[in-house]
Amino acid sequence: MTGEARAFWLRAPGEGELRPVALAPPGPGEVLVRTRYSGVSRGTETLVFTGRVPADQHATMRAPFQEGDFPAPVKYGYLSVGIVEEGPAELRGRTVFCLHPHQTAYVVPADAVVVVPDGVPAARAVLAGTVETAVNALWDAAPLVGDRVTVVGGGMVGCCVAAVLAGFPGVRVELVDADPARAGVAAALGVDFALPADAAGDRDLVVHASATAEGLQRALELLRPERTVLELSWYGDRPVTLALGGAFHSKRLGIRSSQVGTVSPRRADRSYADRLAVALDLLADPAFDALLTGRSRFADLPDVLDRLASGRLPALCQLITYDEE
């Protein structure tokens, strides 16, 4: 045996625990990764934590190395960075990103890990999965030079979209959120900020990521005619009500979904690995550090997820550290 690790499991909706995991030695084509950091993707993981994955989405929402089934017991998560301790010579000692649940160490196929570029700190690299979502969204949206773009919802996904858009030539970006504290994050990312009531209108593109009906309604109101809201929010089992009797039809507006589980049809010739590599390269920008808003020990993760789900712990990306293991 290679040894024993510990993993976070959702025992029942709203109840997390750490469980021992026996690790077999890696076989040919496999690696043993010792975790340094993982990240809590607050929107998705708190919905999982509270048992709010719709029954018809149980298969779609499975993470790559998930164990168990929704609603619980289930081992879930997908933002992990660690060091390869055993495996092919070219990977040993390298810092890698993996779409793996929260666990102190794990054995996975070597092609399931991606080497983190030297210019990207290991802690920042936990954002790779969320930046990958932003990359896919912008492949879907295909903004043009000179566009006026608004991102409604200053959570982890919305901020990653805004950060990537900030590098587009000639594109003016406004981040809209009901929390005035997000103004500081927007400034760090190099984009404008507005509260919903003050948001600029006549926009060429609006990306919605607030996971609220109010946010989606406001996103539609900000569009110029013949434009589309790109919807990135995942609502779980919550219904969404919109008022579509006003300008929605007269302005010929649209709402289009984007989901990271499929590579954008606009880039059908690119692979998941290509997309993740793009995300990791983008993370060389230190502006992304503004999204790492808190640190917690792995041993405290059951309580941390409970506090994130209840709103008692505000965060964009909560960084989980494993140094004590």
Domain ranges in the chain?
3-119+284-321, 131-264
Report the pLDDT averaged over residues 100-113: 97
Decide if 3-119+284-321 and 131-264 have a common fold: no
Report the pLDDT averaged over residues 222-250: 93
- Contacts of 214 by beta carbon, 8 Å cutoff, 6+ apart: 196
Could you read off the pLDDT of 27-55 as tens digits, one per residue?
A: 999 999 999 999 998 888 999 999 999 99
Task: Please tell me the least confidently modeled range out of 56-60, 66-70, 213-217, 254-258.
Answer: 56-60
Shortest CA distance to 75 belongs to which of 116, 151, 19, 34? Answer: 19
pLDDT for 197 beyond 50: yes
pLDDT for 1 beyond 50: no
pLDDT for 261 beyond 90: no
Task: Give Rg (Cα) of the chain.
Answer: 20
pLDDT for 324 beyond 70: no
Torsion sign, CA atoms 207, 209, 211, 215: negative
* pLDDT reported for residue 2: 62
- Contacts of 125 by beta carbon, 8 Å cutoff, 6+ apart: 37, 81, 95, 97, 116, 280, 283
Q: pLDDT grade, residue 259 (50/70/90)?
A: confident
Distance CA 37, CA 35 (A): 6
Task: Please tell me the least confidently modeled range out of 57-66, 88-97, 120-129.
Answer: 57-66
* pLDDT reported for residue 42: 81
Report the pLDDT averaged over residues 151-155: 96
Report the pLDDT averaged over residues 109-120: 96
Q: pLDDT grade, residue 260 (50/70/90)?
A: confident
Report the pLDDT averaged over residues 227-252: 92
* pLDDT reported for residue 150: 98
| Fold entry, domain 131-264 | Rossmann fold (3.40.50)
Distance CA 325, CA 306 (A): 22
* pLDDT reported for residue 44: 85
pLDDT for 325 beyond 50: no
Q: pLDDT grade, residue 169 (50/70/90)?
A: very high
Are 82 and 34 in contact, with CB atoms under 8 Å apart?
Answer: yes
Q: pLDDT grade, residue 234 (50/70/90)?
A: confident
* pLDDT reported for residue 146: 96
Average pLDDT of the chain, as a whole number: 95
pLDDT for 125 beyond 60: yes
Report the pLDDT averaged over residues 279-304: 97
pLDDT for 200 beyond 60: yes
pLDDT for 266 beyond 60: yes
Q: How far apart are the first and last CA of the chain?
A: 18
pTM: 0.92
CATH code at 3-119+284-321:
3.90.180.10
Give me the percent of the chain exceeding a pLDDT of 70.
Answer: 99
